Amino acid sequence: MISFDVCDISADIFLINGGDTNVTTEGHAGDWLLNLPMIDIHTIGAGGSSIARFVKGA
């Protein structure tokens, strides 16, 4: 199963495979490495409030 959570400015995605989540120990909080087991979530900057515009000549 793929979990996809769209928030205001970002979207979080993670995989549940055979009832188990993928776990990583290489997560970050800003620039700080968190050497703890946690769900391997990937975040992209494309949420429900994200707006993209193209301005000609800018």
pLDDT digits (tens, 9 = 90+) for 5-58: 888 788 888 888 888 888 889 888 889 988 899 888 888 887 777 677 778 876
Residue 37 forms part of a structural domain: yes
Q: What pLDDT shows up at residue 50?
A: 66
Q: What pLDDT shows up at residue 42?
A: 85
Residue 57 forms part of a structural domain: no
What's the predicted TM-score (pTM) here? Answer: 0.57
Distance in angstroms (rounded) separating the CA atoms of residues 56 and 10 = 26
Residue 53 forms part of a structural domain: no
- The residue range of the domain holding 28 is 2-44
The first and second tokens of residue 48, run together, are 């429900």
Please give the single-letter amino acid code of residue 32.
W
Distance in angstroms (rounded) separating the CA atoms of residues 47 and 7 = 5
How many domains does the chain fold into? 1
The dihedral over CA atoms of 18, 40, 4, 16, expressed in degrees to the nearest 10, equals: 0
Q: What pLDDT shows up at residue 58?
A: 64
Judge whether 56 and 14 are in contact, CB under 8 Å.
Answer: no
